[in-house]
């Protein structure tokens, strides 16, 4: 059989092969919380032996999907950058067309699934029902345009300033505002530098908090009150 004449085909096939393993996919999804994990933590998360996890993580690092850090005896890995997070989230959305996640086999798994669906971080921005609701509320208030691609309005820039969130002018490698298809809600949530800045502000201000050690988040009573006043955010449960 003749080799492909498309110069990008070998690279695309190599990239696809990195995702074509359930253990590696599980690790990539866990790392969407934007934090660095040890190999041991990811091994326990994926339910595999530490040696198996290390082998898979090595492949992901070599393939450019993960970045590696060492502190003393500990080895940490994180997603290489926001583009990798976008790719993982996008593939997760595409992998569950119209049906969301498969039915959970245990009560604990169902609880984790439901918590992630209500609210989570997607790398460094808000996702799930919380992220989509914030995005749609911003659009409803005229802070965000979503009719022809995502863009902040003048009122949107002013709103960020009123919260004390400094936004650059954009133009870097990362867009200021971008829509990211939510893999549980099947609707876009706010990503890009503005989405990351808003997520950071929401967590640092105590408007939302992480649930356990994963990437599920929930609004605090303060967050319900503040975002209700700022955005007329509807109840999420």
> For residue 237, what pLDDT band results from cuts at 50, 70 and 90?
low
Backbone phi, psi, residue 19, to 5°: -85, -15
pLDDT of 73 reads 80
CA-based nearest residue to 60, from 23, 90, 114: 23
What are 110-125's pLDDT values in tens digits?
676 788 889 999 888 9
* CA-derived radius of gyration, the chain: 19
Q: Does residue 137 carry a pLDDT above 70?
A: yes
Within its chain, how far is the Cα of 232 from the centroid? 24
Return mean pLDDT, the chain.
86
| Calpha distance 95→184 (Å, rounded) | 11
DSSP string, 96-160: STTT-SPPPSSHHHHHHHHHHHH-EEETTEEEHHHHHHHHHHHHHTTSEE-BTB-EE-HHHHHHH
Average pLDDT over residues 231-237: 80
Tell me phi and psi for residue 173, to 5 degrees: -65, -30
Structural domains of the chain, ranges and CATH numbers in brackets: 10-80 (1.10.10.10), 84-97+109-231 (no CATH)
CB 184 within 8 A of CB 95: no
pLDDT, tens only, 65-120? 999 988 888 889 999 988 898 889 888 877 765 544 445 455 555 676 788 889 99
Cβ distance 26 to 20 under 8 Å?
no
Among residues 82, 117, 118, 92, the alpha carbon closest in space to that of 181 is found at 92
Can you tell me the distance from the alpha carbon of 121 to that of 51, in angstroms, rounded to the nearest whole number? 28
Asked whether the beta carbons of 206 and 219 are under 8 A apart, the reply is no
Residue whose structure tokens are 């989509």 = 132
**Residues 23-70: tens digit of each pLDDT:** 999 999 989 888 889 999 999 989 999 999 999 999 999 999 999 988
Nearest Cα neighbor of 42 from 59, 30, 55 is: 30
Residues near 43 by beta carbon (within 8 Å), at least 6 away in sequence? 49, 50, 52, 53, 54
């Amino acid at each position: 059989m003749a080799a492909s004449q498309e110069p990008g085909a070998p690279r695309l096939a190599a990239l696809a092969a990195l995702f074509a393993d359930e253990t590696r996919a599980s690790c990539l999804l866990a790392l969407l919380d934007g934090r660095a994990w040890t190999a041991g933590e990811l091994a326990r998360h994926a339910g595999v032996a530490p040696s198996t996890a290390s082998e898979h993580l090595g492949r992901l690092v070599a393939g450019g999907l993960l970045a590696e850090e060492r502190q003393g005896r500990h080895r940490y890995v994180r997603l290489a950058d926001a583009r990798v997070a976008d790719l993982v989230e996008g593939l997760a959305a595409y992998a569950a067309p119209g049906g969301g996640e498969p039915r959970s086999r245990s009560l604990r798994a169902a609880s984790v699934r439901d918590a992630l669906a209500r609210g989570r971080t997607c790398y460094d921005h808000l996702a799930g029902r919380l992220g989509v609701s914030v995005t749609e509320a911003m659009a409803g208030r005229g802070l965000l345009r979503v009719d022809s691609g995502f863009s902040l309005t003048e009122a949107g820039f002013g709103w960020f300033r009123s919260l004390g969130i400094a936004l650059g002018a954009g133009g870097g490698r990362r867009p200021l505002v971008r829509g990211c298809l939510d893999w549980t809600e099947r609707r876009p949530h706010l990503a890009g530098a503005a989405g990351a800045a808003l997520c950071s502000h929401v967590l640092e201000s105590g408007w939302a908090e992480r649930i356990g050690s994963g990437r599920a988040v929930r609004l605090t009573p303060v967050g319900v009150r503040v975002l209700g006043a700022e955005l007329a955010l509807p109840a999420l449960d």
